[in-house]
Each structure stands twice: as structure tokens, then as C-alpha cells.
Structure 1
Amino acid sequence: MSTTLLISDLHLHPDAPEVTEGFLDWLARRASGADALYILGDFFEAWIGDDLLDHVDQDPTGNAALAIRVAGALRRLADEGTAIYLMHGNRDFLLGHRFASAAGAKLVTDPAVLRFADEPVLLMHGDSLCTRDEAYMAFRRQARSPAWQEQILAMPLADRIQLAAQLRQQSGEANSNKAEDIMDVTPAEVVRTMRDHGVTTLIHGHTHRPAVHALEIDEQPARRIVLGDWQPDHGWEVEIGPDGDPVLRQVTL
């Protein structure tokens, strides 16, 4: 029986060990045996470059040890036959092919269109849909620039660790002063994006507002499925079975 699982926004970080343990348990208990697993961004709370994997002894934050442990768990799942796909989020946009290889995974573009039961489904992280947050959209354009990424990755590891901490703090402070609707998706952008990709189903994360939204595109019924973020006691998944119908559910960790 063909089963695909999709998750997003785990924000794995050494300061949240319960989420990591819950995810690893979910991976062994729930994802084992699935045909495919898609992780739709913000898998890690921050990612400063794949070379972190070489410098556990130079990383006082514990992120390197966490990444190695998580990569090993994903590799074991991949070796059992589950195809694993990683999409960049707004927190881990520097995640590279080296980590993906260590995890037995492949990087996928954002957005990506897949077919389930011969129906196209659009997968996204979701941050590009939040066009009313002009300050964030400006940062996103910068952060996704290959030239900017190359400049950041050329910095010494210690400087990147410090930069990641600063960006994390600035993001939290900025979001605390923004109106709730600004940080949510722009409805017109959702419709435009779905129309451009010829789909009536969109699955994304980013907003931490899990729900299934019914909408209409060119007089056709459509839906937007939003994955939630993971907490110490629960996570969120979308399961797509042989019938191709996505089911959003909360999972106990």
C-alpha cells in the first residue's frame, strides 16, 4: 500500500530536546514503512552550513551533534526503503547537498508539484505566500541569493554561529511587533500561485496555523492544507494514501 507522509516546521534545536526525541520516535514508529517522507522546510531552527558536520568540537551550541544524530536516523529510514525529500524553509535555507546525502535524502525545490492518484499537488514551505510581510520578503530575496549565501558560507564557523543567534533573536523581536494577518498567507497570492501551477490542492507549512481551508479557483473547488509546527507533546503530519486524498492530523509524541 503506497503511503506518503509530509511534515514541516520541527525547528529542531538543542534547546528543545523533547521535540527531537519525539521526532525520532515518530520516525521509527510512524514513518517506517512509508514509501516517501517529505520535510517541507524549517526542519532545523537554524542551519549555518553543511561543514558544521565536521566541527562538533567547535560548536558549543550542540547543533552539530544534533544534526549528525538526526541525519543518522533519516539514513536508517532511507536504507529501509523510504524515499526522503527535504525542502528549504526560512530557517534552514543553507541546508545543502552534503547534509542531504548524509541523511539519505534529496533536496527538492520550493515550490514542487507532485502527482498522487494522477492529481497534481503543490508542495511549498509557505513563506513566499506571506507577501504582506514586506520586511520579511526583502530578507527572503537576500537570503535566497546565491551570492549572499556564498558570502555567508565563507565566514568563519564561529562568526556564522553568532550570526545565526542574532538572526534568530531579530526574527523573534520583529514578529512580536507584527500584526497576525501580516504573518499569514496573502489569499490572492495563494490563488495566483495555485492557478499558475494548475493545481487545486496546496500543502504547506511556515505559518504554524494547521488547518484545511476550502477555496475556489476559477469556479473549481480547491483546498489549502497547512501543516502545524511541532511541540514537545505533539506534531503534525499529512498522510496521502493510494487514493491520493491528503489527510491532516495531529500526532501524539
Structure 2
Amino acid sequence: MTLVISDLHLCEERPDLTALFEHFMREIAPQSDELYVLGDLYESWIGDDDDSEFVESTIELFKAYSDSGKNLYFQHGNRDFLLGDVFAEKTGGQLLDEVHPYQLGKKPAIMMHGDSLCWDDKEYMQFRQMVRSEEWQQQLLSQPLAVRRGIAADLRTKSREAQENKASAITDVHPQAVEEVLKEHHAQILIHGHTHRPAFHDLEIDGKHCQRIVLSDWGEKGHYLTVDGEDISEHYFKAS
């Protein structure tokens, strides 16, 4: 059985989210064979050299999972796009490309974080292009950890302010973007996060029945998908 999660937004300032994560990794994840984390695992990621106790404690939970012989996969989100090879090595996981192919029984599927599909949010798309550039990332990672923490805090504040002033439709995925990525990868199912709008959407593309499945962010409850063959179901849980 496969588990899929996204948009945990873990941070030291939210111990409630950490409690959900600990419960998930200790009580729910061990029942699976593999775990996919589709981005925004952390509220921000300032580099693989972050040595905070909080970060180390989350890495240890992932390492325990992978050490038990299970497969662990990560995609970059818009908050943690600096996750790198060192993080993957420490957790025993693998970093995936932005679009990851996945076979759901006989149905071809793809997994994404989903931010690259939000075409109408032109301001964010420009920002995304900047921060995903190798030059920008190298400049940021060359700064001391303390400076990076300040930069990350400032970016989070600006992001929250920007989101509050945008219409709901602007921050959702664009239908054409969804259609194009499904066609490009010859897939019938798209699983993604980012928008914080959990739902199962039925689509028809070139006469074929397709689906777009959206994961929820974590808050009072955690959210995950189980995938078993062609069967996909969603589940909410609270920390015990």
C-alpha cells in the first residue's frame, strides 16, 4: 500500500502540526510499503545544513521509516524547494522530479506539488522562476544560517500578505495547465497538493475519463491518500 501526503508546513512555531506528523509517522506510515511527500513538507527550508533540533527530529522519523525497508519519496514544494541530496541521504529517501509518473493499476498517473499549474497567479509564477534559478539559490545558500532564517521569515510574511489580496480563482490550478500536463505525460490521473482545496475532480480529456485528486494541507487534522492498485481513498486523522 502507498501513502501520499502534502502541505504539512512543519515549523517550530506549530507544535500541533509536529504532533500530527509524529503520530502519522509512528502509527499510520508503518502500515504502508511506500510514502510520497508531494511538497511543502516544511513551511520553509533554508538549506540542508540546517542543524536545528526541530529539523533533526523530523529527519529521524523519516529515517526510521526508510530503515524499516520502506520506500520514501519527496517532491519540492513552493516552500521547501531547497531540499537537496543531503536531506535525501539523511532520511533515506529519494528526491523526485517536478512531475513523477506513477502507475495506478492499469491507469497511468502523475504526481506533482501543483504550484507550476497556477498559471493565473502571474506574480507567483514570476517569483517561482526567480527562486528556482541556480544563481538565486547559490546566492542564498552562501549566506550564514541566521541570515537565511531572516530571509525565509520575510518571504513567508510577504507570501501570506499576497495570498490575502488575491481572488480565490487566481490561486487555483488552471484547467488548461492540467489538461496539458496530463496529455504530455499520457496520464489519466493527476495527484497534487499546493492549493489546499482537497477534492476528487472528474475530467474528460479527448474523450477519456480523467481525474484530478487534490490533497489537503494539515491543520486541526492531518490528511493522506491511500493507494492500493487502482483504488484511491482519502483519510483524515487527529493526533492521539
Q: TM-score range by the shorter chain?
A: over 0.9
Q: What is the Cα deviation at residue 144 of structure 1?
A: 1.0
2:146 maps to 158
Q: What is the Cα deviation at residue 200 of structure 1?
A: 0.8
Q: Paired residue for 1:116, among 94, 98, 104?
A: 104
SS of the equivalent of 1:95 reads coil
Once the two structures are superposed, the pairs formed by residues 63-212 of structure 1 within 5 Å of their partners are 64-212=52-200
Q: Does 1:252 align with 2:230?
A: no
The residue type equivalent to 1:248 in the other structure is E
Distance in 2, matches of 1:39 and 1:148, equals 25
The residue type equivalent to 2:184 in the other structure is D
Distance in 2, matches of 1:158 and 1:131, equals 33
Gaps of 5+ in 1: 54-63
Choose 18-27 or 68-77, whichever is displaced more: 18-27
Choose 110-119 or 186-195, whichever is displaced more: 110-119
Once the two structures are superposed, the pairs formed by residues 5-24 of structure 1 within 5 Å of their partners are 5-24=3-22
Gaps of 5+ in 2: none
Contact (CA 8 Å) 1:33, 1:82: kept in 2 or not?
no
The residue type equivalent to 1:166 in the other structure is D
Q: Deviations over 1:206-234 (max 9, x none)?
A: 00000000111101111000000001x31
Q: What is the Cα deviation at residue 250 of structure 1?
A: 2.1
Q: What is the Cα deviation at residue 119 of structure 1?
A: 2.5
Contact (CA 8 Å) 1:40, 1:125: kept in 2 or not?
yes
Distance in 2, matches of 1:29 and 1:142, equals 39
Distance in 1, matches of 2:124 and 2:25, equals 32
Q: What is the Cα deviation at residue 151 of structure 1?
A: 1.1
1:41 maps to 39
Q: What is the Cα deviation at residue 246 of structure 1?
A: 1.8
**Percent of matched pairs sharing the same residue:** 43
Distance in 2, matches of 1:230 and 1:16, equals 11
Contact (CA 8 Å) 1:191, 1:217: kept in 2 or not?
yes
Q: What is the Cα deviation at residue 33 of structure 1?
A: 3.2
Q: Does 1:224 align with 2:212?
A: yes
Q: What is the Cα deviation at residue 51 of structure 1?
A: 0.9
Q: Paired residue for 1:237, among 224, 232, 238?
A: 224
Q: Does 1:28 align with 2:15?
A: no
The residue type equivalent to 1:249 in the other structure is H
SS of the equivalent of 2:173 reads coil
Contact (CA 8 Å) 1:33, 1:81: kept in 2 or not?
no
TM-score of the pair, normalised by structure 2: 0.97
Q: What is the Cα deviation at residue 14 of structure 1?
A: 0.6
Distance in 1, matches of 2:152 and 2:36, equals 25
The residue type equivalent to 1:26 in the other structure is F
Give RMSD over aligned pairs.
1.0
Extract structure 1 runs of 4+ deviating beyond 3 A: none
The residue type equivalent to 1:28 in the other structure is R
Contact (CA 8 Å) 1:5, 1:238: kept in 2 or not?
yes
Q: What is the Cα deviation at residue 93 of structure 1?
A: 0.4
Distance in 1, matches of 2:57 and 2:80, equals 17
Distance in 1, matches of 2:180 and 2:190, equals 12
